[in-house]
Every structure is written in structure tokens, then in C-alpha cells.
């Protein structure tokens, strides 16, 4: 069955944890949620077809494009995948210790809070845009608080395209597709009088109400927010 997955990518840069969350909808071909999670990790480029975590990601996968853009001083820590409507399923794996970005800086690093942005499009009016922030910028890649056009075209735009694509896995017995999406959560007041954001009771309703098939564009203006929650 089609299933919603939330992927948390944890990185570390200048001794600080960096988090980004990506949401995907599976095509529903795999026979179990755990297999779909393995397939998604493979489609992202993080694991091989046997389920082994990689330190050099699969060519042209979303994580490969990201790894190419980020510096060798940035570390990939873990990949954590959950299914909001199947709480028993979990993918929680550490990257090999030597997993880092691949870009070699030739000038000084900018502070860790300086980040690059992907901006999601608006598929539905009542569903918020999705933003992703990535750390790891050098001085020569920024002019007047903007990324240079060369850096944007060569690195950030391909990353935006990678996370916009419908991706497919190559794991035997899985072979599924995964479409980027933004979940719609509705605010409600809990028993403690606090506003919380909740999903519909049924996954089919969550899929119908959410923005499925989103895409991202690269933003040249740098920001001081280096992580994004769901």
C-alpha cells in the first residue's frame, strides 16, 4: 500500500548537529513497511541493494548531489526513517565513521549558522511550503549575502532537482517509487491547553489533504538557520 515516510538526515558541522527532514509517499509496491523503508534509503543513495550503509553515495542520487556540494569538514551522522501510520516500523542507521562531504574548500569556512536554502513550491494553498537548509559554505561562494551564480548553478540547483525527483529503489524484492511531499498537520488544543499539530486519523486522508509531488528551487540568498524540522 502507499505509505507516508519521514526521513531525518543528521549531520554534524563545526561540532553542532544539523537536521533536515524529508517526506516521501511510496508507490505501494513493496510488501511491508520495513522493506519500503529500505527501498527509500536505497533510492536516496544511502544504502546499497543489500542494505549496507554507504560512505560514498550512489551516483546522481539526492544524497550524492548533496555530498558533492558540502565540505569535507561536514560529517554525515545518521539516517532515520519513520512511518507515521506504522509506528512498529523503523529504519535507524549510522553512516560509516568516515562519511563526509566531498567539496574541498580553498578559502575560509563561513560560520556554522550560515546556510544554503531550498524552497518548496506551493501545490495546495492550505499546505505550507517546505524549506530545507544546508550548512557548509566557504567565503568565496558568497558575495553580498548571496551565493554566487556559479556555485548555485553547479551545486545547489542540482541538489534542488535531486530532492524534487520521484526516486526509485533497486533493492531486489522491493522496487518501489517515492514521491516528495509536504504533510498537512492541523492545529488543535491538547488537554494541557497547548496547541499541537496532528495528522488525520487515517493515512488515506493524510495523503489526500497533503501536498504530493512538490519540487524545490535553489535560493541564492543565504540564511542563518541551518536546520529544518518537518
Nearest to 135 by CA among 158, 115, 151: 115
Q: Give the pLDDT band (50/70/90) at residue 191.
A: confident
Grid coordinates in use for 202? 487515517
The CA-based angle 97-21-120, given to 5 degrees, is: 130
Average pLDDT score over the chain: 94
Q: Look at the block and give the residue holding cell 568516515.
A: 98
pLDDT at position 224 is 82
Q: What distance in Å separates the CA atoms of residue 19 and residue 10, rounded to the nearest whole number?
A: 5
pLDDT in tens, 68-79: 999 999 999 999
Share of the chain above pLDDT 90, in %: 87
pLDDT in tens, 175-186: 899 999 999 999
pLDDT in tens, 101-149: 999 999 999 998 999 999 999 999 999 999 999 999 999 999 999 999 9
pLDDT at position 230 is 46
H helical segments located in the chain: 33-44, 62-69, 149-151, 157-164, 203-209
pLDDT higher than 50, residue 170: yes
Nearest to 132 by CA among 212, 5, 218: 218
pLDDT at position 227 is 54
Mean pLDDT of 33-53: 96
Q: What distance in Å separates the CA atoms of residue 133 and residue 23, rounded to the nearest whole number?
A: 15
pLDDT in tens, 199-225: 999 999 999 999 999 999 999 999 887
Grid coordinates in use for 38? 529500505
User: Where in 95-166 does DSSP place strands (E)?
Assistant: 115-120, 131-135, 142-143, 146-147
Please give the C-alpha separations between residue 148 and each of 89, 116, 139, 207, in angstroms, as whole numbers. 42, 12, 10, 38
Amino acid at each position: 500500500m502507499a505509505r507516508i515516510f519521514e526521513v531525518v538526515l543528521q549531520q554534524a558541522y563545526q561540532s553542532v548537529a544539523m537536521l533536515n527532514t524529508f517526506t516521501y509517499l511510496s508507490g505501494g509496491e513493496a510488501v511491508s513497511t520495513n522493506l519500503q523503508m529500505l527501498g527509500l534509503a536505497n533510492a536516496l543513495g544511502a544504502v546499497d541493494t543489500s542494505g549496507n550503509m554507504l560512505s560514498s553515495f550512489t551516483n546522481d542520487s539526492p544524497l550524492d548531489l548533496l555530498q558533492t556540494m558540502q565540505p569535507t569538514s561536514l560529517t554525515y551522522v545518521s539516517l532515520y526513517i519513520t512511518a507515521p501510520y506504522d509506528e512498529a516500523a523503523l529504519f535507524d542507521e549510522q553512516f560509516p565513521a568516515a562519511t563526509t562531504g566531498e567539496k574541498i574548500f580553498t578559502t575560509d569556512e563561513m560560520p556554522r549558522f550560515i546556510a544554503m536554502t531550498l524552497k518548496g513550491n506551493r501545490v495546495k494553498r492550505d499546505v505550507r511550503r517546505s524549506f530545507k537548509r544546508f550548512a557548509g559554505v566557504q567565503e568565496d561562494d558568497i558575495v553580498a549575502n548571496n551565493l554566487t551564480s556559479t556555485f548555485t548553478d553547479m551545486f545547489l540547483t542540482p541538489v534542488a532537482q535531486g530532492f524534487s525527483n520521484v526516486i526509485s529503489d533497486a533493492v531486489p524484492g522491493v522496487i518501489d517509487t517515492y514521491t516528495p511531499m509536504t504533510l498537512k498537520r492541523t492545529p488543535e488544543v491538547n488537554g494541557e491547553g497547548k496547541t499541537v499539530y496532528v495528522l488525520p486519523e487515517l493515512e488515506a486522508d493524510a495523503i489526500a489533504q497533503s501536498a504530493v509531488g512538490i519540487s524545490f528551487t535553489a535560493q541564492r540568498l543565504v540564511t542563518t538557520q541551518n536546520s529544518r524540522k518537518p
